[in-house]
Amino acid sequence: MALIVQKYGGTSVADAEKIKNVARRIIQTKEAGHQVVVVVSAMGDTTDDLIKLAQNITDKPAQRELDVLISTGEVVSSALVVMALQGMGHQAISLNGAQAGIQTDSAYSRARILRVESRRVVKELESGNIVIVAGFQGITKDMDITTLGRGGSDTTAVALAASLGAARCERYTDTEGIFTADPRIVPEAQRLDEISYDEMLELATYGSKVIHPRAVEIGELYSVPILVASSFNHKPGTLIHREVSMEIRNKVRSIAHDLDVAKITIVGVPDRPGIAASIFVPLAEAGISVDTIVQNASLENITDLTFTVARSQLQKAMAVTEPIAKKIGARECVSDAKLAKVSVVGTGMQNAPGYASTMFKTLSDKGINIELITTSEIRITCIIDETKVKDAVRALHHAFELDKKPSLK
């Protein structure tokens, strides 16, 4: 008997039939002899509907109250999944974030989990219950309700798995796992049987929407294996874990892409110490997450500074950047919202040359201009025009031979 934590996303619990389907899957795990803890998201569009309710009341709802409001979505799902399980003759109980002991800081709407006090969950498991936990939410030390922000329910699930010492965290959505590229763009993309935490982190950070990097980080920190699979079929999915087979490591694993990219260039910046701080500290204080930063080689102590942000933050970022640019004596600020990132990821790149040149040549052969380049030890990212993304992903997928099923398991 093992302890398994499962997580079902919003599309998996979108209506009564899907909730019953989820209940049947949970029961299969239970009947295989395991203890089961399940984390659920809000049904379908519930969270959006609740936000709309708030927007009808006021333009700028306080984050504390928005958290109180939207946390109800996951509570509703948790009770309904329990009802489905009970209706099928199984013993189950729902717990909200507070009851499940998900203790967070008080950064409303983007709270971080400080610890998981899983006593109640353990007690319910010991009583023979399947425990259904409302995801995406926690409680502060003052008993105020918080939500965890993007990737919240994934994070709840992996954190609970870590706290409970679960054998595995199984994360079910409408996708069948991690692929060598987005199958909607590359039909011959292959599902990966396994992937390392590091690779998954790079993929998730650079555009794969399948699992949030926060959840992967916790998984890595506490060595929780995470299975990513579909809730609509029984295909094996992808296991994210530490010990990926040695030979498979020696490869590019997957091509990620991200369309949510905008670029700001400050042209003609006087190149002196402190300039970067004078720009990026105010951006951080305004809550704008700056991604890639590139500074061109300085010519006569004048340089261009380019950075990328999410498109939704471009307007706000320009409003912060333009006055600063003026103040530091830069020539102008220009922006481009129609960009995208393509990244090749794989631990195999670490000690092997030639990957970067293959990537650049592949894009060049397709006539795709590279605007910016950034790299990590196991990733190379090129920022290109958004209209060229499909071509780029397909060409790279072919160039790195990802359309061939990996021969080793």
Q: Which residues bind a copy of itself (CB under 8 A)?
A: 15-16, 19-20, 50, 53-54, 56-62, 64-66, 68-69, 72, 75-76, 78-80, 82-84, 86-87, 93-94, 96, 98-99, 120, 143-145
Nearer to a copy of itself, 21 or 250 (CB): 21
Sign of CA dihedral 242, 247, 249, 255: negative
3-state secondary structure of 330: coil
Nearer to a copy of itself, 85 or 244 (CB): 85
Nearer to a copy of itself, 109 or 374 (CB): 109
Both tokens of residue 406? 């990996």
DSSP string for 75-118: HHHHHHHHHHHHHTT--EEEE-TTTTTEEE-S-TTS--EEEE-T
* Contact call for residues 30 and 62 (beta carbons, < 8 A): no
DSSP string for 265-288: EEEEEE--TTHHHHHHHHHHHTT-
Query: Minimum distance between the CB of residue 321 and a copy of itself, rounded to whole angstroms?
Result: 30
Nearer to a copy of itself, 15 or 332 (CB): 15
The phi and psi torsions of 151 (rounded to 5 degrees) equal 75, 15
Nearer to a copy of itself, 108 or 197 (CB): 108
As a whole number of angstroms, the distance between CA 60 and CA 110 comes to 16
| Residue that the structure tokens 């425990």 belong to | 131
Nearer to a copy of itself, 50 or 293 (CB): 50
> Beta partners for 171?
7, 228
Q: In this structure, are strands 102-104 and 168-173 parallel, antiparallel, or unpaired?
A: unpaired
Query: Minimum distance between the CB of residue 246 and a copy of itself, rounded to whole angstroms?
Result: 47
Both tokens of residue 377? 């030890």
3-state secondary structure of 400: coil
Query: Minimum distance between the CB of residue 116 and a copy of itself, rounded to whole angstroms?
Result: 16
Nearer to a copy of itself, 144 or 391 (CB): 144
Q: Which residues of 367-389 are buried (b: 16+ CB within 10 A; e: fewer)?
A: ebeebbebebebbbbbbbebebb
Query: Minimum distance between the CB of residue 164 and a copy of itself, rounded to whole angstroms?
Result: 19
| Residue that the structure tokens 């959840």 belong to | 215
Query: Minimum distance between the CB of residue 118 and a copy of itself, rounded to whole angstroms?
Result: 14
| Residue that the structure tokens 């340089």 belong to | 303
Nearer to a copy of itself, 80 or 384 (CB): 80
Query: Minimum distance between the CB of residue 124 and a copy of itself, rounded to whole angstroms?
Result: 11
Query: Minimum distance between the CB of residue 191 and a copy of itself, rounded to whole angstroms?
Result: 32
Query: Minimum distance between the CB of residue 161 and a copy of itself, rounded to whole angstroms?
Result: 22
